Amino acid sequence: LANAANFSAPEAIFLMGGNEFTVSGLSGSGTIMNGNVTVTDGIYPGAKGEIGTLHLANSDTTLSGALHVDVGENGESDCLDAPGGIDLSQLNLVVENLDELASGNVYTIATGKLSGNFDGTNLSGTPWMVFASGNSAKLMTGGTLFMLR
């Protein structure tokens, strides 16, 4: 798998054996652990057109390119879970099906130890915005936001 073009982890656990891999694309609802992974292009939690969660259980994960998420009118969405930490500033966010975003819902698109904000999104011209704070990134409609601690 080293330096493969794409890797799909449908409901699987991929133990990397402490190795380092670079892939251009990553998709699925599986778990990647025990190694370093670099993704240079597209990340599709769940898979293209399917809602799911992709778990990156590594502390050394480098992502660049675009995070592609699918959403549902019921508030469900793809989610990238990275408890080891990721920097969102190297990623563009692409909501694949903007017409499915339903006002009043909040969509959790990333969880874990998050830093930075998405480099760009395809949300311009919509009432939707991304709110990233410490351990989650969410899509929500614009308005006044109060954060209490």
Tens digit of each residue's pLDDT (9 = 90 or more) over 18-71: 777 788 888 888 787 766 777 888 899 988 888 999 988 876 677 888 999 999
Tens digit of each residue's pLDDT (9 = 90 or more) over 90-135: 899 999 999 999 999 999 999 999 999 999 999 999 999 999 988 9
Half-sphere exposure of 26 (CA within 13 A, CB side): 30
Tokens standing for 56? 């990156």
Using pLDDT thresholds of 50, 70 and 90, give the confidence band for residue 14: low
Q: pTM for the full model?
A: 0.84
Query: What pLDDT is attached to residue 7?
Result: 53
Cβ partners under 8 Å of residue 98, min gap 6:
122, 123, 126, 128
Q: Is 70 exceeded by the pLDDT of residue 6? A: no
